Structure 1
Amino acid sequence: MLPGSIQITGESLSGAEVRDICAGLRDGGVRLLAVRGCQLSDRDYFRVCRGVAEARGLAQLNLNLGVVSGLSRTRQLAEALQANRSLQTLFLHGSPLLDSGLVTLNAALCGHPSLVSLDLGDCLLGDEALGLVCGMLPPDGAKSGLRELTLSANPGISTKGWARLAVAVAHSSQLRVLNLDYNPLGDQIAGMLAVAVASSRTLEVLDLEGTGLSNHAAQVFLDMVQNYPTSLRVLVLAENDIIPELQQQISDLLSEGEEEEDRQGPPAHSSPTHSGDMLPTRDKHHHPHHQHQNHHAGPWVPYSSKG
């Protein structure tokens, strides 16, 4: 376990444990708090939120897998985020937020001075919520926005919603990592995302695992990386109906671009990120039709912290 971290998964937390967590938050000693899939009474959840509000050193908060279980808890989290100034990474993967939950959180998320990484995977989001997320990716010249965004396994978002996201990504001044795995995107949306990648000066990682793509979409990405300069370094196309040869060609070309960039030195936009000393866990979701049941996780370091 990392220094200054509390990481608990799938346990029922006692009042004494929650008091210890809150004490660590208040004295500034906790940089990473993860209570993935844990059961807390409403009273103890409120105490944790109050601790987050008062925390001065907390950089990463992981409430994945159903901890934020309803609108009342969402409101309490929003209040905590309004008061907190230090948080950089927030994981809410597998929380039944719905659009109403994101409406509740939106002002706190958009107004937070430090937040740069957000996981909203498997949160039952629709187009209204996605429109709010697009507001967290301000265009060039505007205030800084998210650097890392996860929207895995949100099948309620329509083609129109994903198209709107593609436009936002194309103009985002900060976004480096975008995880859209296990959404039914299809080749049409993948084509829009290829245009967004070609337009973006910052996007380095795009995860399209299990998104219903075919060789047609892969050929569009291949043409893009062959013929146009791009910041993209990692494109995940696993679990799609794409022949291995095409995937390998794309991977080889992206690797060549990275090697060439290494020889020339870091790009102008490269800078140390919030997560250089952290090991966030992204809950990679491989069974979108059994939501909130079949999750598994492992250590996940955002690409932007490897350099």
Structure 2
Amino acid sequence: MLPGSIQITGETLSGAEVKDICDSLKENTVRLLSVRGCQFSDRDFGRVCRGVAESHSLAQLNLNLGVVSSITRTKQLADALKANRSIQTLFLHGSPLLDAGLVSLNTALCTHPSLVSLDLGDCMLGDEAVRLICGMLPPDGAKSGLRELTLSANPAISTKAWARLAVAVAHSSQLRVLNLDYNPLGDQIAGMLAVAVASSRTLEVLDLEGTGLTNQSAQIFLDMVENYPTCLRVLVLAENAISPELQQQISDLLSEGEGEEEEDKEAEACADAPHAPLEKSAWIPHSSSSGRHVVLLTSGLGDSLLAETEM
């Protein structure tokens, strides 16, 4: 039987319901577990973490909206992640982690063998957390790192720390999606990010919605996509003081580049088809400008389970 999903939002979970979740995790019948905004006791949270540790099927874990509400729970989650080998996507959006929480999670996150997507939006993070996150974006030639990172709405992060992140992004060998929306970045940091995008050989999606940018930033991005080769295909600039004309120009250029890239890929696929048929990817970006997160999970039988959760 193909593993399924458990998705519960904003409920108070009883001990019996938690037992059912834990049993399903231990029986490896769950591929996606989402308990976003749910309330349950610390004891029951520990039981769920033990279930996560024992699961070999779980690929996506959603604990958004305050489920990881204390340093005790953070440590329990860290222990679960150290034992688990299967999770690809972890959502902790809206959890009051602070830097101390990320310190507790850091080793588990950095050493997890399958984790490729991490949402730390609105987690009250600061500069120390960013320093640790940069370690999850190893440079070319190093171990594999995150492919998707969300740091939305963490206003305590300083300009210096954002600059450090921009350098890490420039040299990351894996990162494809970066969501920095609703942070007070301003034009200075946006300029650094433009350089990072131009340097990156993998970054495809950059979300800068509501980050305090002006036409100055947009002009830099326009010059970059107009005159330099880049992997970028989506740049979100909504809710900034940027003219619609500039936004449209950038969007049109990115669309043109994406069309040319698709044509090149099709030509390569046709040329390679007799020798090596294309394989389905086990991971696709979970974010888009619409805010939906999608993960494609492939079973050993070649079938696929498409699971969606909304932020």
TM-score by length of 1: 0.89
Residue 298 to residue 162, structure 1, CA distance change in 2 (3 Å): closer
Residue 239 to residue 199, structure 1, CA distance change in 2 (3 Å): same
Kept in 2, the 8 Å contact 1:212–1:240? The answer is yes
Distance of 2:206 and 2:16 partners within structure 1: 42
Q: What is residue 146 of structure 1 aligned with on the other side?
A: 146
Q: What is residue 292 of structure 2 aligned with on the other side?
A: 299
Amino acid at match of 1:98: L
Report the RMSD for the aligned CA atoms in angstroms. 2.3
Q: What is residue 28 of structure 2 aligned with on the other side?
A: 28
Q: Deviations over 1:98-153 (max 9, x none)?
A: 00000000000000000000000000000000000000000000000000000000
Q: What is residue 264 of structure 2 aligned with on the other side?
A: 264
Distance of 1:47 and 1:13 partners within structure 2: 12
Residue 193 to residue 112, structure 1, CA distance change in 2 (3 Å): same
Runs of at least 4 residues of structure 1 off by over 3 A?
270-276
Identity %: 77
Distance of 1:161 and 1:231 partners within structure 2: 24
Residue 50 to residue 158, structure 1, CA distance change in 2 (3 Å): same
TM-score by length of 2: 0.88
Distance of 2:187 and 2:27 partners within structure 1: 50
Residue 100 to residue 187, structure 1, CA distance change in 2 (3 Å): same
Mapping of 1:58-69 within 5 angstroms?
A: 58-69=58-69
Instruction: Report the 3-state secondary structure (helix = DSSP H, G, I; strand = E; otherwise coil) of the residue aligned with 1:33.
Output: strand
Kept in 1, the 8 Å contact 2:177–2:287? The answer is no
Distance of 2:200 and 2:28 partners within structure 1: 37
Q: What is residue 291 of structure 1 aligned with on the other side?
A: none
Kept in 1, the 8 Å contact 2:56–2:86? The answer is yes
Q: What is residue 238 of structure 2 aligned with on the other side?
A: 238
Mapping of 1:203-214 within 5 angstroms?
A: 203-214=203-214
Q: In the TM superposition, what is the alpha-carbon distance from 1:299 to its structure 2 partner?
A: 3.0
Q: What is residue 99 of structure 1 aligned with on the other side?
A: 99
Residue 240 to residue 273, structure 1, CA distance change in 2 (3 Å): farther
Distance of 2:182 and 2:266 partners within structure 1: 32
Mapping of 1:50-61 within 5 angstroms?
A: 50-61=50-61
Mapping of 1:1-307 within 5 angstroms?
A: 4-265=4-265, 273-276=281-284, 299-301=292-294
Distance of 1:251 and 1:36 partners within structure 2: 33
Kept in 2, the 8 Å contact 1:7–1:34? The answer is yes
Residue 298 to residue 7, structure 1, CA distance change in 2 (3 Å): farther
Q: In the TM superposition, what is the alpha-carbon distance from 1:274 to its structure 2 partner?
A: 4.0
Distance of 1:267 and 1:140 partners within structure 2: 27
Q: In the TM superposition, what is the alpha-carbon distance from 1:45 to its structure 2 partner?
A: 0.3
Q: In the TM superposition, what is the alpha-carbon distance from 1:275 to its structure 2 partner?
A: 3.6
